[in-house]
Structure 1
Amino acid sequence: MGPVIEQEKVVLVTGAANGIGAAVAELAITRSHRVVLSDVDEVAVLDRARSLGPRAAACVLDIRSSEGWARAFEAAEAAFGGVDVLVNNAGITHTGVARDLRPQQHRDIVEVNLLGTITGVCTALERMTAQGHGHIINVCSMTSFLPLPGYATYCATKYGLRAFHHSVAIEERNGPLDFTIIHPPSTRTGMLDQEMADPSCAISFAERSYAPQEIARAVVDAIVTKPVEVVFPPLAGRVQRVAGVFPRLMRRVIPIAEARGRRQRERLLPQPGTDR
């Protein structure tokens, strides 16, 4: 028997053309929700929505644009009558150590991962409060607890997103909205492929990666259970969250994890003379 669904919801998912967002959309529809998929890649998101059938609709959305956010909510209202749940999933990274990234690459990461998500949350606050209900689910990252080499600006945006999320949830504690933040670890998406190509991101391979469907399960479960915060994996994630409080400990432990990740990455790379 599958999970019990309280009632059908209309779910707006960002970054839904591929990866975690696509997995969230598919699972939500399987569980009888209706989903508006949004993504900056218009062709890919339209194709993805068509593949999911009549309970799916799609719109193009660059989450950096406040006008784009307004259009996305309007598209959801036109298709299904409004948004009950916003899943803020879209994000990017540019691989490399901080000194090697161009200023525009640092800005790209901040503008998408932090400012874009903030814009979406603020749009949802206004519209969901007006309708008297709503649930904002921000897909963040375990890097919001642990700063990692090769991810300095990415980690900064995730630290910032977690602080923003919880601050807003406290501000809105007497309102009609629910707030959940979910922290995936390394996940097998296009971003992980990007990291595989860059030795500076070796720490991503220190622990096992997760399939997007595993993260999607936590996101879609949260529509019903409405947890405040979810870490991955459940036990090790809690340990990492605590470890992130102690800078001296991090400076000792993270280089060890990075060395382990470097060895694991070398094992995963195609070997000369093979087709893998």
Structure 2
Amino acid sequence: MSGLLEGRSALVTGAAQGIGLAIARTFIEHGASVTIADLDADRAAAAAASLGGGARGVGCDVTAEQQVADLVAGAAQAHRGLDVLVNNAGITRDASLRKMRLEDFRAVVDVHLQGTWLALRAASEVMREAKRGSIVNLSSMSGKVGNPGQTNYSAAKAGIVGMTKAAAKELAHHGVRVNAVQPGLIRTPMTEAMSAEAYAATEATIPMRRAGEPEEIANAVLFLASDLSSYVTGAVLEVSGGRGM
């Protein structure tokens, strides 16, 4: 099947690598024009160039209100509207409760929660006017089951679920759908930074006995972004190989 997003415009944050880049690539393969945003403008531009003419790369700090407003406005102007927003930008600052610094807690919460909220708020204004749109927020299984050493990340990712449901209720009558995806262990540069022991221990908890691939998250996001999910809003889709059931 192809063309699920034919003629539509999308914005994906944190998309210079990993899951975000896989989402952008999948969207382009299905006919969308995509704005790739990343904190590193050069990497965003390089990622866009690697995907061809349907992509543009922009630098953006998702915790900065004006930068996010400019990002959304620029994406809508470049592609004559905004049909899909994917809030994917994220960081980790893992440490035990005893060792985690306040700045590490705040940094993770700011990127995930404040960043998601700022983009959701700005994009929803554009979509409300058009009476249509799909917003997909990337949560994590860490936000459902919790991970030791990730009190900041788990809290932020759980918060995204609550934000998703609240926004879905606010925007449904405007024709705008808001859903979340909770990835499990996925092969990305972020998880590759884990120790071999920690990675193996996590993989052993997965009923399917393997990590997922970025493309498997991208396909789930594609479903939520497209009309295949036209009657789905406020949902949280776990893509985890069965982990956390």
Q: Same fold (TM over 0.5)?
A: yes
Aligned match of 2:167: 168
**How far 1:222 sits from its partner (Å)?**
2.1
SS in structure 2 of the partner of residue 98 of structure 1: coil
Aligned match of 2:186: 187
Aligned match of 2:139: 140
Distance 1:105 1:58, change over 3 A: same
**How far 1:187 sits from its partner (Å)?**
1.0
Aligned match of 1:128: 127
Aligned match of 1:91: 90
| Contact 2:3 2:31 (C-alpha < 8 Å) held by counterparts | no
SS in structure 2 of the partner of residue 148 of structure 1: coil
Percentage identity across paired residues of the two chains: 31
**How far 1:116 sits from its partner (Å)?**
1.0
Alignment of 1:1-276 (within 5 A): 2-3=1-2, 5=4, 7-196=6-195, 204-206=202-204, 207=206, 208-224=210-226, 225-226=228-229, 227=232, 228-233=235-240, 236-237=242-243, 240=244
Distance 1:15 1:22, change over 3 A: same
Query: What count of residue pairs does the alignment treat as equivalent?
Result: 236
| Contact 1:40 1:62 (C-alpha < 8 Å) held by counterparts | yes
SS in structure 1 of the partner of residue 174 of structure 2: coil
Matched AA of 2:8 = K
Distance 1:231 1:44, change over 3 A: same
Whose Rg is larger?
1
Matched AA of 2:153 = Y
Distance 1:147 1:201, change over 3 A: farther
**How far 1:4 sits from its partner (Å)?**
5.6
**How far 1:200 sits from its partner (Å)?**
7.2
CA displacement, residues 15-59 of structure 1 (integer Å, 9 cap, x when unaligned): 010000001111111111111100001111101101111111111
Matched AA of 1:220 = L
CA displacement, residues 210-250 of structure 1 (integer Å, 9 cap, x when unaligned): 1111111111122222243311246x25xx25xxxxxxxxx
**How far 1:193 sits from its partner (Å)?**
2.1
**How far 1:194 sits from its partner (Å)?**
2.4
TM-score, length-scaled by structure 2: 0.89
**How far 1:201 sits from its partner (Å)?**
7.7
- Higher mean C-alpha deviation, range 83-92 or range 173-182: 173-182
CA displacement, residues 87-146 of structure 1 (integer Å, 9 cap, x when unaligned): 111111112212212111111001001111111111112221123221111111112210
**How far 1:66 sits from its partner (Å)?**
1.3
The Cα RMSD (Å) is: 2.0
Distance between the aligned counterparts of 1:54 and 1:217, measured in 2?
Answer: 21
Matched AA of 1:210 = G
TM-score, length-scaled by structure 1: 0.79
More helix as a share of residues: 1
SS in structure 1 of the partner of residue 119 of structure 2: helix
| Contact 2:11 2:37 (C-alpha < 8 Å) held by counterparts | yes
| Contact 1:113 1:158 (C-alpha < 8 Å) held by counterparts | yes
SS in structure 2 of the partner of residue 195 of structure 1: coil
Distance 1:204 1:63, change over 3 A: farther
Distance between the aligned counterparts of 1:148 and 1:54, measured in 2?
Answer: 40
| Contact 2:38 2:61 (C-alpha < 8 Å) held by counterparts | yes
Aligned match of 1:255: none
| Contact 1:87 1:137 (C-alpha < 8 Å) held by counterparts | yes
